[in-house]
Amino acid sequence: MCPVKALIASRRNRKPFVTNILSSGPTPKRFAPLGPLRGTIRVPGDKSISHRSLMFGALAVGETKVSGLLEGHDVIATADALRAMGATIDRTGEGEWSIHGVGVGGLLQPKQALDMGNSGTSTRLLMGLIASHGITASFVGDASLSARPMGRVIEPLSQMGASFTSSPGGTLPLMMTGSLPAVPITYRLPVASAQVKSAVLLAGLNTPGITTVIEPVPTRDHSERMLKGFGAELTVVEVDEERHISIHGDAELSPQTITVPGDPSSAAFFIVAALITEGSDLLIENVGLNATRAGLITVLQQMGGDIELVNQREVGGEPVADLRVKHSRLTGIEVDPAIAPSMIDEFPVLFVAASLAKGRTTTSGLDELRVKESDRLAAMAAALKASGAIVEELEDGLIIEGSDGTPLRGTKDEAIITHLDHRIAMSMAVAGLASKSGVEVDDTRPIATSFPTFEELLRKASS
Q: Which residues are catalytic?
A: 345
| 48 annotated ligand binder | yes
> What residues form DSSP beta bridges with 393?
398
Q: Got the DSSP string for 93-136? A: ETTEEEEE---TT-PPPPSS-EE-TT-HHHHHHHHHHHHTSS-E
> What residues form DSSP beta bridges with 412?
none
| 249 annotated ligand binder | no
| 5 annotated ligand binder | no
| 293 annotated ligand binder | no
Q: What span, in angstroms and rounded, lies between the C-alpha atoms of 249 and 326? A: 48
Interior/surface letters 76-90, b for 16+ CB within 10 angstroms, e for the rest: bbbbbbbbbbbbebe
| 372 annotated ligand binder | yes
Q: What span, in angstroms and rounded, lies between the C-alpha atoms of 53 and 154? A: 23
Q: What span, in angstroms and rounded, lies between the C-alpha atoms of 307 and 328? A: 9
Q: What span, in angstroms and rounded, lies between the C-alpha atoms of 213 and 106? A: 24
Left, alpha or beta for 410 (phi > 0: left; psi -120 to 50: alpha)?
Answer: left
Question: Which parts of 134-289 are beta strand (E)?
Answer: 136-140, 163-167, 171-177, 186-188, 210-215, 234-239, 242-248, 257-259, 281-288
| 423 annotated ligand binder | yes
| 412 annotated ligand binder | no
Nearest to residue 212, comparing CAs of 223, 197, 226, 227?
197
φ, ψ at 112 (rounded to 5°): -145, 170
Residues 6+ apart with CB under 8 A from 413: none
Nearest to residue 29, comparing CAs of 385, 347, 432?
432
| 376 annotated ligand binder | yes
| 29 annotated ligand binder | no
| 47 annotated ligand binder | yes
> What residues form DSSP beta bridges with 163?
177
- Binding positions are 47-48, 52, 120, 148, 193, 195, 345, 372, 376, 423
Binding annotation for 3-phosphoshikimate: 47-48, 52, 193, 195, 345, 372
Q: Show binding-site residues for phosphoenolpyruvate.
A: 47, 120, 148, 195, 376, 423
